[in-house]
Amino acid sequence: MDTLNSPTHCRLTAAVIALLCCDLTSAGIIVTGTRHIYPERQREITIQLTNDDPLIPRLVQAWLERGDRPSGPESSDVPFSLSPPVFRIDASKGQAMRLVYTREPLPIDRESLFWLNVLEVPPNIQPDAALEEGEQNYLRFAFRIRTKVFFRPAGLPGKPEEAPGRLHWSLQRGPQGAQLQVYNPSSYYVTFNEVALAMGARLDAAVLPGETGMVAPGGSLALSIHHSKAAVIPPDAQVQFKFINDFGAFSAPQRAPLRF
């Protein structure tokens, strides 16, 4: 049996480390945009992919799914067709995918959320480090990119950029501790980049450190408040947040009253 200090173990470790360093930095597929909006009346939308690797082609598989729990293409059950679903992108080249709504019924009073999965299959090339050591065993990694697709029915009330200003923020105290509750009465999803509490002129980011999240139309989201800070929140405290717009950009800081 080989020991941890044996030459065989050292060669294998070196090969694996070299492969990890190589492959984890060589994921070459880039999806244009962090989110995609599908207006109901549009025949299709185009999603652009690019192979950023200047040397190696990539094989890509793409599919849509419901919910935020990743699954596989075999369980995809969505009212969209995506073409092509499997394709190769040569080095430093691009590929456009067509997403088409198949007109199966979806809610007409609010947005619906889907997830686009882009699976990059690594090339079947043995790394140089393993070849030099004469090893036949090596690891390959597949990279999956997930981006949001919002289906937007025609005729929704208001505008998506107005939805963050309509949010209702409240402080809730219970057995699980203090929580910041946000209710979204609009027909649009609101995604946060940052949430904090403003105590007068002072911004206390420690209360909600780096909190992000997304609140669905007509839904609520609970954000935990640091236990030691919950007892000292003054009645004039406000919520300060940034949201992500349709183009994936962060908004300027927004402030909203906090209801106790």
101 in a domain, yes or no?
A: yes
What pLDDT, on a 0 to 100 scale, did the predictor assign at position 143? 84
Q: Which domain holds residue 138?
A: 7-21+31-152
**Cβ distance 241 to 195 under 8 Å?**
yes
* pLDDT tens profile 130-157: 445 555 555 566 788 999 999 999 999 9
Of the listed ranges 2-11, 105-114, 151-160, the least confidently predicted one is 2-11
Of the listed ranges 4-18, 50-64, 111-125, the least confidently predicted one is 4-18
| 128 and 172 co-located in one domain | no
* pLDDT tens profile 163-172: 999 999 999 8
| 164 and 242 co-located in one domain | yes
Residue closest to 181 by CA, chosen among 171, 189, 190:
171
| 129 and 197 co-located in one domain | no
What pLDDT, on a 0 to 100 scale, did the predictor assign at position 234? 82
Select the more confidently predicted residue: 98 or 198: 98
What pLDDT, on a 0 to 100 scale, did the predictor assign at position 237? 87
Please give the order of strands across the beta sheet that includes 45-51. 29-31, 45-51, 94-101, 80-83
Beta strands in 58-188 (DSSP E): 58-65, 80-83, 86-89, 94-101, 112-121, 143-152, 168-174, 177-183
Residue 114: band (very low, low, confident or very high) from pLDDT cuts 50, 70, 90: very high
| 145 and 168 co-located in one domain | no
1 in a domain, yes or no?
A: no
| 178 and 124 co-located in one domain | no
* pLDDT tens profile 210-242: 677 999 999 999 988 875 566 678 888 899 999
Handedness of CA 70, 74, 77, 78 (dihedral sign): positive
CATH number at 172 reads 2.60.40.10
Of the listed ranges 116-120, 141-145, 195-199, 230-234, the least confidently predicted one is 230-234
**Cβ distance 98 to 201 under 8 Å?**
no
| 205 and 141 co-located in one domain | no
| 148 and 164 co-located in one domain | no
Select the more confidently predicted residue: 125 or 208: 208
Which among 135, 152, 169 is the end of a domain?
152
What lies within 8 Å, CB to CB, of 7 at 6+ separation is none
What pLDDT, on a 0 to 100 scale, did the predictor assign at position 190? 97
Which among 152, 169, 185 is the end of a domain?
152
Which among 152, 185, 201 is the end of a domain?
152
Residue length, the chain? 260
Residue 18: band (very low, low, confident or very high) from pLDDT cuts 50, 70, 90: very low
Alpha-helical (H) ranges within 160-226 are none
Please state the domain count of the chain.
2
What lies within 8 Å, CB to CB, of 99 at 6+ separation is 36, 38, 44, 45, 46, 47, 64, 80, 81, 82, 116, 149
What pLDDT, on a 0 to 100 scale, did the predictor assign at position 186? 98
**Mean pLDDT estimate for the chain:** 82
Alpha-carbon distance of 78 to 64, in angstroms, equals 7
Neighbours of 250 (CB within 10 A): 12
